[in-house]
Homo-oligomer: A and B are copies of this chain.
Amino acid sequence: MTGKTFAPAPPEPLPRDLFDPDCLPNPVPIRFSEKWAWLVLRCLEPGPRRFSELRVPLHWVTPKVLTETLRSLERDGLLTRTEFQEHPPRVEYELTTLGHSLFGPMDAVCGWARENLGRLLAAREAHPAPSK
């Protein structure tokens, strides 16, 4: 065990601090990494929406994935799911206060994107799948 090049099996089992907002295992950055969460929240910004109403702007998301996304957002208290006992069934999704409060930081990111997307894409152009 002297020849090992790297990390001789460090005792610590990845002590990443869940409460460090910078740390990726932190649920918040993770939230942004969920593929559709971002857009789903946006679609709910104007007000409550039904499942099928959400499917229109998100028609390229399969119902399964949409459901999963909605449930995970519900688990984190960002939106509520209300089931009306009617026929045909009806379910409404609505942002919580917590959910709404996310738009602040989200807008900051979107603002950055709006301003710098051009540079970013230009940089991509400039790096033409390099040497390889």
Q: A interface vs B, CB < 8 Å?
A: 6-7, 10, 14, 16, 19, 21-24, 26-29, 32-36, 38-39, 42, 55, 59-60, 63, 74-78, 98, 101-102, 104-106, 108-114, 116-117, 119-124, 126-127
Q: For the complex formed by this chain, how many copies does it contain in all? A: 2
Establish whether residues B74 and A127, one from each chain, have CB atoms under 8 Å apart when the complex forms: yes
Q: Is the interface of A mostly helix, strand, loop or mixed?
A: helix
Establish whether residues B112 and A27, one from each chain, have CB atoms under 8 Å apart when the complex forms: no
Residues of B contacting A59 with CB < 8 Å?
6-7, 10
Establish whether residues B6 and A24, one from each chain, have CB atoms under 8 Å apart when the complex forms: no
Q: Which of B23, B36, B122 contacts A39 (CB 8 A)?
A: B23
